[in-house]
């Protein structure tokens, strides 16, 4: 097993996750079996209990792990399926060590950060690296250390990396440091922040082998030379990573910088030609454009990253650029809805903003605007139908606290007091009924999709809803998993989250169908004319 450890300097938000995923991609395109581990130095056991507005989307894995959004990037770039063990947090490490202490595993010793915590970190990395991906065990494992070098939180992890480096044969680990090269007012590239962050890394006993410099513009040869000299890294190992128009083009950029050969040479692996299929998928030209309104409490950037990417995958496959417009569920005007070619209501929790979301669904249903409701969006579509068509004016979800509960707590959730990691989570099979939109989109009747919810369509109301025309096109035998309105150009709600399984080369069927419908609508009634 070869390890590529990725650390970050200067500041957070540099795109370390995308860089890590892109390094994995260029190696995978060379036929290497690659896996990836994300280290998150926070005390939460997992990302499931964090506010997405602060930490970004909670990504859901097939095993039900609620993890950091970077695992979504790894899955999308590497086209693999990871497990909860691939996201190591301080919380998980300490929990394991403390459980061992209570069991008596360390009897007679003082339990300390070094060696007990660092040993557990190394064991966790090795365990995750050894888990099968694709069709066997990986040859290369990427390890991304979250946070910025110098943070107190990440110290034990960097110490564990330092130890690993000493314990492994020299060519089995490469250290990639991602930094920022800003520009001054004269347009000169400044290397000082990079020099300082490399110094901070050296203080904890680690020296980088490769430096990936992020910035608005590509590095000049002179700047590369300077970084090479000051940071003691070979000049060809100073890689320029300027901001790209699309994250999927970052591997193409790293490819052009020659990073693949630098890494394979460093690790003593053979140089190989890259398979061009990634390039073909992500460089496909757009010939048209649609605007999709995403009605939610939070802005789109990191909170709905999987939805944003799934729309992009579908758009790319259809040569259609998808522009997402964030529609704030609590403050929007009729015009906001009129100016979009389709409406998405994403997953969510709690009752804030539901009025606006339901109003947007009414608009989509009545004005025949393409609609995709995901999880909470599906539940709200059912509630909207109960209110608008069945006439249950106070139709609601039990989650809101009052009203007629057309959406109710899952029976197995009753009595659950502990909230971390206890939702209905991960991959579960769904059966689609023949002849429905959902079955047509997937081209099959048995599918597997990821879940993350506590509530379901209340079984008591299913017959009435069906009688009123709502079709439940997907079920798991007992629970309703998808709904649609026959005769509507595209109205689909899913209790599951199809966005988590969408990949650049295999877009998710509901998203593909939705973007196709948006394109149709724009062709037949471009937004400007619709405004009249």
Q: Which is nearer to ligand GLN, 173 or 329 (CB)?
A: 329
The reply on whether position 382 binds ligand GLN by CB under 6 A is no
Region of 159-167, 278-286, 304-312, 448-456 interacting with ligand GLN (CB under 6 A): 448-456
Distance CA 305, CA 312 (A): 10
Q: How far is the CB of 477 from ligand GLN (least distance, A)?
A: 18
The reply on whether position 400 binds ligand GLN by CB under 6 A is no
Q: Which is nearer to ligand GLN, 5 or 307 (CB)?
A: 307
What Cα–Cα distance (Å) separates residue 80 from each residue in 36, 57, 76, 206? 10, 19, 7, 30
Question: Nearest to residue 275, comparing CAs of 253, 252, 257?
Answer: 252
Q: Which is nearer to ligand GLN, 53 or 207 (CB)?
A: 53
- Judged by phi (left if over 0) then psi (alpha if -120 to 50, else beta), residue 104 lies in left
The reply on whether position 347 binds ligand GLN by CB under 6 A is yes
Q: How far is the CB of 430 from ligand GLN (least distance, A)?
A: 15
The reply on whether position 399 binds ligand GLN by CB under 6 A is yes
- Judged by phi (left if over 0) then psi (alpha if -120 to 50, else beta), residue 13 lies in left
Q: How far is the CB of 348 from ligand GLN (least distance, A)?
A: 5
Q: SS3 for 29?
A: coil
Token readout for 5 is: 């450890």
Residues in the chain: 532
The reply on whether position 278 binds ligand GLN by CB under 6 A is no
Q: Which is nearer to ligand GLN, 251 or 293 (CB)?
A: 293
Interaction with ligand GLN in 451-490: which residues (CB under 6 A)?
452-455
Q: How far is the CB of 482 from ligand GLN (least distance, A)?
A: 14
Q: Which is nearer to ligand GLN, 3 or 461 (CB)?
A: 461
Binding mask 301-340 for ligand GLN (x = CB under 6 A): ----------------------------------------
Q: How far is the CB of 374 from ligand GLN (least distance, A)?
A: 7
Q: Which is nearer to ligand GLN, 456 or 484 (CB)?
A: 456
What order do you get walking across the sheet with 395-397 strand by strand? 395-397, 404-409, 455-457
CB distance 368 to 524 below 8 Å: no
Token readout for 358 is: 């339901």
Give me the catalytic one of 75, 449, 499, 518.
499
Burial class (CB in 10 A: 0-12, 13-18, 19+), 106: middle
**Ordered DSSP codes for 344-390:** EE----SSTTHHHHHHHHHHHHHTT--EEEETHHHHHHHHHHHHHTS
Distance CA 317, CA 310 (A): 11
Give me the catalytic one of 375, 451, 453, 456.
375
Region of 6-14, 158-166, 208-216, 450-458 interacting with ligand GLN (CB under 6 A): 450-458
Q: Which is nearer to ligand GLN, 59 or 278 (CB)?
A: 59
User: What contacts 517, CB < 8 A, 6 or more positions away?
Assistant: 342, 370, 489, 490
Give me the catalytic one of 86, 451, 453, 497.
497
Q: Which is nearer to ligand GLN, 455 or 472 (CB)?
A: 455
State yes or no: is 375 an active-site residue: yes
State yes or no: is 86 an active-site residue: no
Interaction with ligand GLN in 15-34: which residues (CB under 6 A)?
none
The reply on whether position 387 binds ligand GLN by CB under 6 A is no
Q: How far is the CB of 85 from ligand GLN (least distance, A)?
A: 23
Q: How far is the CB of 425 from ligand GLN (least distance, A)?
A: 10
Distance CA 254, CA 264 (A): 13
Q: Report the residue closest to ligand GLN, judged by CB.
A: 347
Q: How far is the CB of 349 from ligand GLN (least distance, A)?
A: 4
Question: Nearest to residue 3, comparing CAs of 167, 201, 189, 148?
Answer: 167
Distance CA 277, CA 306 (A): 22
Backbone φ and ψ for 502, nearest 5 degrees, come out as -75, 140
Token readout for 467 is: 């009688």
Distance CA 79, CA 430 (A): 22
* CA 62 to chain centroid: 13
The reply on whether position 376 binds ligand GLN by CB under 6 A is yes
Region of 305-313, 342-350, 365-373, 473-481 interacting with ligand GLN (CB under 6 A): 342-350
The footprint of ligand GLN on this chain (CB under 6 A) covers a number of residues equal to 10
Catalog residues that contact ligand GLN under the rule CB under 6 A: 347-349, 375-376, 399, 452-455
Catalytic sites, residue numbers: 375, 497, 499
């Amino acid at each position: 097993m070869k390890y590529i450890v990725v650390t970050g300097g200067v500041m957070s938000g540099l795109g370390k996750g995308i860089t890590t995923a892109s390094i994995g991609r260029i190696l995978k395109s060379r036929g290497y079996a690659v896996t990836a581990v994300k280290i998150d130095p926070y005390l939460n056991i997992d990302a499931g209990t964090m506010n997405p507005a602060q930490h970004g989307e909670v990504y859901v894995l097939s095993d039900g792990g609620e993890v950091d959004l970077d695992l979504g990037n790894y899955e999308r770039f590497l086209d693999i399926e990871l497990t909860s063990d691939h996201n190591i947090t301080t919380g998980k490490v300490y929990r394991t060590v403390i459980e061992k202490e209570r069991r008596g595993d360390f009897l007679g010793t003082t339990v300390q950060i070094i060696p007990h915590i660092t040993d557990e970190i190394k064991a966790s990395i090795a365990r995750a690296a050894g888990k099968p991906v694709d069709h066997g065990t990986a040859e290369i494992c990427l390890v991304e250390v979250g946070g910025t070098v110098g943070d107190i939180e990440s110290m034990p992890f960097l110490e564990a990396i330092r130890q690993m480096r000493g314990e492994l044969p020299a060519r089995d680990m490469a250290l990639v440091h991602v930094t920022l090269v800003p520009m001054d007012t004269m347009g000169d590239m400044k290397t000082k922040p990079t020099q300082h962050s490399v110094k901070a890394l050296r203080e904890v006993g680690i020296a980088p082998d490769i430096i990936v410099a992020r910035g608005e513009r590509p590095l000049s040869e002179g700047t590369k030379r300077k970084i090479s000299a000051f940071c003691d890294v070979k000049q060809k190992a100073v890689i320029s990573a300027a901001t790209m128009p699309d994250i999927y083009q970052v591997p193409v950029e790293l490819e052009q910088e020659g990073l693949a050969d630098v890494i394979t040479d460093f690790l003593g692996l053979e140089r190989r030609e890259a398979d061009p299929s990634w390039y073909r998928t992500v460089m496909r030209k757009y010939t048209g454009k649609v605007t999709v309104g995403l009605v939610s409490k939070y802005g789109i950037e990191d909170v709905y990253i999987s939805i944003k990417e799934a729309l992009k995958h579908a758009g790319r496959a259809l040569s259609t650029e998808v522009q997402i417009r964030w529609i704030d569920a609590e403050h929007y005007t009729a015009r906001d809805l009129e100016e979009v070619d389709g409406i998405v209501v994403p997953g969510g929790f709690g009752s804030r903003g539901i009025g606006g979301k339901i109003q947007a669904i009414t608009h989509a249903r009545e004005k025949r605007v393409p609609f995709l409701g995901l999880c909470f969006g599906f539940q709200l579509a059912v509630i909207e139908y109960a209110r608008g068509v069945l006439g249950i004016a106070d139709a609601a979800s039990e989650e809101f606290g009052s009203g007629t509960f057309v959406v109710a707590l899952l029976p197995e959730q009753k009595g659950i007091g502990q909230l971390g990691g206890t939702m209905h989570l991960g991959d579960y099979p769904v059966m689609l009924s023949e002849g429905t939109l959902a079955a047509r989109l997937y081209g099959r009747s048995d599918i597997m999709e990821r879940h993350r919810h506590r509530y379901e369509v209340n079984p008591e109301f299913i017959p009435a809803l069906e009688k009123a025309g709502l079709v439940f096109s997907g079920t798991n035998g007992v629970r309703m998993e998808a709904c649609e309105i026959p005769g509507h150009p595209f109205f689909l709600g899913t209790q599951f989250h199809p966005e988590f399984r969408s990949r650049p080369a295999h877009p998710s069927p509901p998203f593909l169908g939705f973007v196709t419908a948006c394109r149709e609508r724009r062709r037949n009634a471009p937004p400007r004319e619709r405004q009249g």
